């Protein structure tokens, strides 16, 4: 029998005003590397055009989920594209990219951006973009429930998404009273973020509502685990879970490496224009 995951901690995300065109909240705050491994941070942003300028990344993947609005992306490797509500961009920065995200002119975007750490062997991987349109992703359907699989799998429904670090990312949309069970490898560390509605989660039926992040109990010594989700009212929730890397983390802004010297090299490479080669 798979071990039943519990909710070990619940946190309510605080949305703060940074400027007249940008509000944000820390779903996963940076610095808690060991607790969140393989995830580094997750930001919720509500922003207008001009909030973010071109900026570099190295040593990580960024996973951007558009809650609402139309988001344009521009970068040094893959050109330009647009994401709409429910779409995801899975960007492998690897050895280095320079990119920018901007709402379509005259609009506001509400998004989530997750940073996933890359293991030392993949930190200098070739950059890669996977634009995951909601309408194209595999779907698992049950009574009163739709589970969209952006990465990993859900009860045998698998996404074609390529991963350097094994990650399951699913969106669950449940009608009131509906219940689903999500399978996860026991080694995975993970959390849920509730976008809409409320429900109960895990073996203890822990209550959660929109704007809360729920952290899963660990099950490292078990091969398989399960998480039960039940909707009290119409529920929309994202589940992220992944294989911990268990390596040192040294972060400097958008660069995440294993040592200070690797950070210094990243800064030099960026200053010398190597991120656009």
Annotated binding site: 55, 57, 99, 101
Strand partners, 23: 17, 46
- Residues 125 and 156 sit within 8 Å (Cβ to Cβ): no
Burial classification of residue 84, based on how many CB atoms lie within 10 Å of its CB (0-12 exposed, 13-18 middle, 19 or more buried): middle
CA distances from 207 to 58, 173, 190, 197, 210 (A): 37, 17, 17, 11, 11
Residue 256 parent element (H or E): strand 255-257
Strand partners, 55: 99
- Residues 200 and 230 sit within 8 Å (Cβ to Cβ): yes
Backbone angles phi, psi at 158, to 5 degrees: -115, 140
Q: How many CB atoms lie within 10 A of CB 197?
A: 19
From the annotation, which residues make up the binding site for Fe cation?
55, 57, 99, 101
In three state form, how does the secondary structure of 117-142 look? ECCHHHCCCCCEEEEECHHHCCEEEE
Q: How many CA atoms lie within 13 A of 243 on its CB side?
A: 13
């Amino acid at each position: 029998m798979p071990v039943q995951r519990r909710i070990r901690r619940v946190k309510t995300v605080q949305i703060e005003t940074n400027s007249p065109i940008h509000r944000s909240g820390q779903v996963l705050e940076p610095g808690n590397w060991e607790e969140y491994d393989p995830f580094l941070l997750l930001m919720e942003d509500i922003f207008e055009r001009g909030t973010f300028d071109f900026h570099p990344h190295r040593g990580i993947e960024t996973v951007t989920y558009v809650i609402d609005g139309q988001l344009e992306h521009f970068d040094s490797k893959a050109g330009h594209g647009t994401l709409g509500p429910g779409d995801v961009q899975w960007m492998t920065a690897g050895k280095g990219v320079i990119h920018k995200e901007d709402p379509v002119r005259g609009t506001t975007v509400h998004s989530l951006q997750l940073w996933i750490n890359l293991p030392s062997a993949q930190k200098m991987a070739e950059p890669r973009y996977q634009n995951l349109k909601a309408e194209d992703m595999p779907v698992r359907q049950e009574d009163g429930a739709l589970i969209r699989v952006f990465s990993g799998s859900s009860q045998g429904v698998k996404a074609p998404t390529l991963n350097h670090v094994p990650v399951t990312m699913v969106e669950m949309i449940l009608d009131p009273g509906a219940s689903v069970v999500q399978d996860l490898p026991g080694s995975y560390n993970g959390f849920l973020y509730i976008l809409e509605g409320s429900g109960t989660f895990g073996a203890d039926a822990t209550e959660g509502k929109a704007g809360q992040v729920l952290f899963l109990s660990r099950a490292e010594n078990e091969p398989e685990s399960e998480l039960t989700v039940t909707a009290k009212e119409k529920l929309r929730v994202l589940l992220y879970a992944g294989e911990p890397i268990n390596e040192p983390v040294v972060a400097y802004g958008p660069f995440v490496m294993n040592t200070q010297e690797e950070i210094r090299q990243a800064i030099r490479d960026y200053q010398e224009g190597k991120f656009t080669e």
